[in-house]
Amino acid sequence: MTQQQFPCGQCGATLAFKPGASALVCEYCGHSNPIEAAESAIEELDYHAFLEEASAQGSTEERLTVKCDGCGAESTLAANVSSDECPFCGSAIVTTQSSQKVIKPESLLPFKIPRKEAFEAFRKWLHGLWFAPNALKKKARNEERIQGIYMPYWTYDCYADTHYRGQHGTYYWVTQSYTTTVNGRSVRKTRQVRKTRWRNVSGRVADTFDDVLVLGSQSLPEKLADELEPWDLNSLVPYKDDYLSGFRTETYHVTLAGGFEVAKVRMDPTIRDTIRGDIGGDDQRINHMHSSYSNISFKHILLPVWLSSYRYEKKVYRFLVNARTGEVQGTRPYSWIKITLAVLLGLAVAGGIALLVSTQSG
């Protein structure tokens, strides 16, 4: 399945989704086509049933993608484009398309922040980078370096039933004698010291989780993507090709089952907090815990990101904008030449001040 194209009814050019509006707009003549609201509701899919029938028709689709030889990212290209730059690492991509069967997204968050606003955020971010290489700042002159891409995510709902063994701690105080020196003399004093009395406990707790979010891509560092949160998942709309027009889409690398393993790691701190609350007392120790997960459901969703990637001294640096909230995150290189010159300048200024003070005092 190739990305669907939407020709303009007036001039024939390809329409693109306009961020912030529920419409496809022609960049040449301004003609607008409203996107009709989907009649179907967004549904959570049964996790185990889907895994058992992974090849069910209607749940998957054939998608043509291009793969970057530099970082391995797989994404779609814009219509009628035969070569491009990888949005994840900045490497040149020449179209060599491959077809693969993937789980079809059920819903998405449409782009809300327009490219111009994302580009201005990029420029402000660059302007605030002390000691950034000049080669990096030159990129701020090209708005086309900011690319809009839909990133694949999984969300999971489930019920977690956890059995645990641990220890309940109760604080108590004891009087401790010690020797110290006061006015040159040894003096015997006492102080209160806190200790903990432990007793073994065991129990069972339950947690309910809703929309545990897991990045389905390995093309972005997970930590960097996490910093784009939160996402307004309550504003998800049913998937329609219209929203993808004019943007690229990254194909997931993290499988449905692999994503749930990541979700377990994300749920773990909440489960531990629940266990500690159940143990009670002044302090708690968790010696063993085992969780069983039931009523698992999932959604495959797409979330919008403005992305710019660049290489500097063989390393990849990225700039991202949450295209819903405007949240900005990025990684940056440092120009050691600028840092060295700044240090030398600082030393020279300090030396000049010292010489001036010495001359005046002499």
- State the CB neighbour count (10 A cutoff) for residue 8: 20
Secondary-structure percent of the chain, ordered helix, strand, coil, rounded to 5:
25, 40, 35
| The token pair that represents 257 in the structure block | 């089952």
Instruction: Read off the pLDDT of residues 171-208 as tens digits, 9 standing for 90 and up.
Output: 999 999 989 888 888 889 899 999 999 999 999 999 99
What average pLDDT does this structure show over 62-83?
60
pLDDT in tens, 244-263: 888 888 888 899 999 999 99
d(CA 212, CA 99): 30
pLDDT digits (tens, 9 = 90+) for 129-182: 554 556 565 655 565 678 899 999 999 999 999 999 999 999 999 999 989 888
Task: Count other C-beta atoms under 10 Å from residue 242's C-beta.
Answer: 20
The token pair that represents 320 in the structure block: 């991202």
User: Does residue 17 contact residue 110 with C-beta atoms inside 8 Å?
Assistant: yes
Instruction: For residue range 219-239, list pLDDT tens digits in order.
Output: 888 888 899 999 999 999 999
Global pTM value: 0.79
CB 158 within 8 A of CB 271: no
| DSSP reduced 3-state for 54 | coil
Task: Report the chain's terminal Cα–Cα distance, integer Å.
Answer: 85
Which of 109, 119, 205 minimizes the C-alpha distance to 161? 205
Tell me the pLDDT band of 336, cut-offs 50, 70 and 90. Answer: very low
Kindly list the domain boundaries of the chain, sorted by start residue: 16-164+200-331, 336-362
